Amino acid sequence: MDLLRRLGQFLDRPGFPWKRLVVSFQVAQYVFEGYLSYRQYKILQQTRPPKSLEGEVKQETFDKSQAYGRAKARFGLYSGVYSQIQNFGTIYLDLLPKLWDLTGTWLHRYSPQGFTGEITHTLVFFFAYNLITTIINLPIAYYSTFVLEEKFGFNKSTVNLWVTDLLKGQALAIALGAPLLSAFLAIVQKTGNSFFYYLFLFGIGVQLFAITIYPIAILPLFNKLSPLKEGELKAGVEGLAKRLDFPLKQLFVIDGSKRSAHSNAYFYGLPWKKHIVIYDTLIEKSETEEVVAVLSHELGHWSLSHTTKLFGIAQFHMFYVFALFSVFINNRSLYQSFGFHKEFPIIIGFILFSEALAPMDMVIKLLMNVLSRKFEFEADEFAVKLGYSTELARSLIKLQIQNLSTMDADWMYASYHFSHPILPERLGALGWSGKEKKADPKVVNGEKPSVITGREL
């Protein structure tokens, strides 16, 4: 506590150029990520697939995958510029203090006298800011869904469904955001300098609540979950769960095809009660044993305690963020640098603190991707030990083709952005060589496969 207090005093220096520092961070991050995208774009211009995929992927499919990757890269460049313009406008036009003052004026003019405190003011400010940013970003969101994804055959949504999802999202932000944000502010106000301990406990409670309530009350608002019908697939998955002592409660099929042609599978739930969700697109485009193989990989994460380890790391990260926030919450020089000279709202302090923490977040993102890729290889190896090497390899190839996922990657770009190994690396680790796997799926030339890149399953 004393160390945090002294650090806070050290960093609160009148006239310190916090605004210039934050903008410099943002520009440096944008330039760095732009450089990585440039490196990756050169990979996306290659005309031949990696040697390990030459016998698995048709040239036409590879060309389409490369075109999709280039289209997403260009879209990322333009949307990034759009985002930077928003950020600079917000900072240099002092839009945050102006919006705070404006929402305060609204409250004093139109609300009852008892509803003009900081918590009420923060809620009005937050929802106004969220609405404004949502409207500003509508062109980007629309283009992503109805131009980019539509062009490559992935979008299955309609404009009506898209707008409905948008409105539902805003309604949920109000219904859930208001009490959570109010509780966050009340904890900070009432618990003094040790507020971060209580915020940490509150954060754990919110996560457990979300795990419980999300599939019951939130997910059905957007997708339909149906029990998996009796048959070979259900018997196979239940047999796998029983074999691993996985506490399977229910098996669901989700109508992912309602919005997209992409495929996946996942599980969720409390430690003693888990639910498995399989995308209808995965079932439609895969053999039964291939779907079971994908789930053997996913359950490998559970059996190897990957999910528990990641949850623990997330809790440590949350505690560290809240503890550091206690250093900045009373930093008047930070507030004043961004135009707050008379009022020092908690929510503004947290927003500005988050901007100042951006460089550290980049480092954490890199380290988490390294760990995640390690876990992915371990889960693949777990599936191999269960006897699903060939089926998993076939399924990964099919998913790669169906999702038009990038089939090769620049090592630096992948190290920073990807949380999963790319397909050639995974196939190499599985010992796959066409119709049959190689002799030893764990060791290649006396060495384990390198873990340098990653992407989605």
* Residues labelled catalytic: 298, 380
> How far apart, in Å, do the first and last CA atoms of the chain sit?
43
**Amino acid at residue number 444:** V
CB burial of residue 378 (10 Å; 0-12, 13-18, 19+): middle
* Inter-residue contact 14 to 334 (CB < 8 Å): no
Closest CA to 119 of 346, 354, 334, 343: 346
Phi then psi for 404, rounded to 5 degrees? 50, 40
Asked if 52 and 428 touch (Cβ cutoff 8 Å), the reply is yes
Asked if residues 295 and 265 have their Cβ atoms less than 8 Å apart, the reply is: yes
Tokens 């469904």: give the residue.
161
Asked if 237 contacts 210 with a C-beta cutoff of 8 angstroms, the reply is no
Whole-number Å distance between alpha carbons of 71 and 240: 39
CA distances from 118 to 171, 264, 267, 322, 441 (A): 22, 43, 40, 20, 60
Contacts of 370 (CB under 8 A, 6+ apart): 415, 451
Element (H, E) at 128: helix 118-136
Q: Taking CA 304 as the corner, what is the angle to CA 241 and CA 362, rounded to the nearest 5 degrees?
A: 125
Pairing of strands 432-433, 273-279: unpaired
